[in-house]
Amino acid sequence: MLQLSGTDLRDSLLAVGLSENQQDVISAFYEKTRDEIDEALNSLAPLLTHYYNLEWRFDVEVGQLVS
């Protein structure tokens, strides 16, 4: 997952209209719990279909060329 940098977090909080004190508290919390937040977001992410072994595709292509 992509991680939010401290600057990007600050910019987002500023755009929402939070005070500097509120931004400080949220930024400190984010920095302290970043790993836990990432784990939680990763567990909620949908599982995307992907191939583990594409060797069979090469074999099929070669087989078609020889025939």
Per-residue model confidence (pLDDT) at position 23: 92
- Residue showing tokens 């939070």: 18
Query: Is the entire prediction scored with pTM above 0.85?
Result: no
pLDDT of 67 over the 60 cut: no
pLDDT digits (tens, 9 = 90+) for 35-61: 998 888 888 878 777 777 666 665 555
Residue boundaries of the structural domains of the chain? 6-66
Q: Half-sphere exposure of residue 23, counting CA atoms within 13 Å on the CB side?
A: 15
Classify 67 as helix, strand or coil: coil
The predicted structure's pLDDT at residue 43: 86
Q: What is d(CA 51, CA 63) in angstroms, rounded to the nearest whole number?
A: 20
- Digit-coded pLDDT (tens) for 3-20: 788 888 888 898 998 899
